[in-house]
Amino acid sequence: MNELYDIIIIGGGPAGLTAGLYASRARMNTLLLRSLSVMGQATMTDMIENYPGIERTGGFELINAIEKQAKAFGSNRLDETVTKISAVEEKGAPVWRIETDSGTHKALSVIVASGARPRKLEVPGEDKFSGMGVSYCATCDGALFRDKDIVVVGGGDAAIEEAMFLARLVKKITVIHRRDRLRAAKILQERVFACENTVFEWDSVVEEIAGTDRVEKVVVRNLKTSELKDLPRDGVFIFIGWEPNTGFLKGVLQLDKSGRITVDESMRTGQKGVFACGDCCKRPLHQVVTACGDGAVAAHSARQYVEELKGVAYK
Ligand code: NAP
């Protein structure tokens, strides 16, 4: 028979780790399941400078620090990918069964913090050249493009921050954005416009990524004139947003049309004993600091739920 945990947390990004930290400090019997194949947005970020109290840090460094802190309070972690969650009614309350690629675990409550993955452009050549010039992570792949000509696709915070990181390594960057202005924060805009080796193709989209063994060119269409243009380039970095990792929850939790989990202010989902936090949820702002805040609230709500279930709640 499997151990019955108080809380199982699905996801090892800032939201899940913070939930783990809070749950362990509350002395809940907690298990955190983390998929090694999933790289979250924070770990793929070169520089974070809006996490209060820390002037500047790398994504990896911040995640490692939170992880170390959670572990110190006794948080258990297994590197397993969750494939399904389901409930069995026992003594009037659901016991959650978490199936993974390596086995099954049981818990009185679940916190889903499964994060999100990079959105794809869905254009010809994107899959073929993935890892051969097409990348979704500047921190991981930037060094491979030293002194090369590349394009960055997107106009949000991620595209502009990553473009500035890449600008220090590559010869020239062309940012391709589908509008005539950036969505990114003003401070990032000021900085990117000051980068001498960065130029912009406004009102433009990528139609195709082409080459033989590796990326050699990008075909770009101007949305205002419909003109097509070949840009000979060595690499394409795509930062056009994120899609939630919630496929395994379809039919179990209420998801919005983009697949994000609907939660209330206590991070409760519509299912008894299931809470959610971070980038997999529908939230007005997705940042490391909000993911951590949501993780703390989710753990607090899960603890209250479990203590009421066990009849040991402090009222
Ligand atoms: P985002 O804010 O959703 O921006 C995505 C960008 O990609 C937008 O400019 C969008 O264009 C464009 N786009 C979307 N789909 C596209 C498509 N199919 N073809 C071409 N362009 C497309 O995503 P993000 O930049 O990844 O950021 C995600 C979240 O993380 C945001 O909340 C962001 O603030 C946060 N973040 C924060 C920081 C920071 O605070 N330093 C850093 C990174 C990320 P439109 O503008 O036309 O919609």
Q: What is the pLDDT of residues 177-189, one digit of tens each?
A: 999 999 999 999 9
- What CATH number has the domain spanning 120-238? 3.50.50.60
4-117+242-310 adopts what CATH topology?
FAD/NAD(P)-binding domain (3.50.50)
Classify residue 96 by its DSSP letter. Answer: E
Domain boundaries, the chain: 4-117+242-310, 120-238
- Please compute the mean of the pLDDT values over residues 138-160 and round it to a whole number: 95
Of residues 191 and 1, more confidence is placed in: 191
Ligand 1 geometric centre to CA of 231 (Å): 23
Structural contact between residues 62 and 42, judged by C-beta atoms closer than 8 angstroms: yes
pTM value? 0.88
Ligand 1 geometric centre to CA of 64 (Å): 25
Residue 278, phi then psi, degrees to nearest 5: 85, -160
Paired tokens of 280: 């997999």
Structural contact between residues 29 and 105, judged by C-beta atoms closer than 8 angstroms: no
Residue among 50, 121, 122, 178 to mutate when testing ligand 1 (max atoms within 8 A of CB) = 178
Average pLDDT, rounded, for the chain: 94
Ligand 1 geometric centre to CA of 155 (Å): 6
Predicted local confidence at residue 83, as pLDDT: 97
What whole-number percentage of the chain has pLDDT above 70? 99
- Please compute the mean of the pLDDT values over residues 291-312 and round it to a whole number: 96
Residue among 162, 182, 183, 290 to mutate when testing ligand 1 (max atoms within 8 A of CB) = 183
Evaluate whether 4-117+242-310 and 120-238 have a shared fold: yes
Classify residue 255 by its DSSP letter. Answer: B
Least confident residue range of 6-20, 79-93, 219-233:
79-93
Protein residue with its CA nearest to atom 44 in ligand 1? 158
Protein residue with its CA nearest to atom 28 in ligand 1? 241
Protein residue with its CA nearest to atom 26 in ligand 1? 241
Predicted local confidence at residue 47, as pLDDT: 82
Length of the chain: 315
Greatest Cα pair distance in the chain: 68
48: left (phi over 0), alpha (psi -120 to 50) or beta: beta
Taking the C-alpha atoms of residue 54 and residue 41, their distance in angstroms, rounded to an integer, is 18
Taking the C-alpha atoms of residue 155 and residue 181, their distance in angstroms, rounded to an integer, is 8
> What pairing do the DSSP bridges indicate for beta strands 76-78 and 30-33?
parallel
84 band by pLDDT with thresholds 50, 70 and 90: very high
Paired tokens of 315: 């009222």
Predicted local confidence at residue 1, as pLDDT: 47
List Cα–Cα distances, 207 to 34, 117, 137, 178, in angstroms: 36, 22, 21, 12
Closest CA to 80 of 137, 31, 40: 31
Structural contact between residues 25 and 73, judged by C-beta atoms closer than 8 angstroms: yes
For 271-288, what is each residue's pLDDT tens digit?
Answer: 999 999 999 999 999 999
Report the pocket of ligand 1 as residue ranges, CB < 6 Å. 50, 121, 153-159, 161, 178-179, 183, 205, 239-242, 285-287
Protein residue with its CA nearest to atom 32 in ligand 1? 286
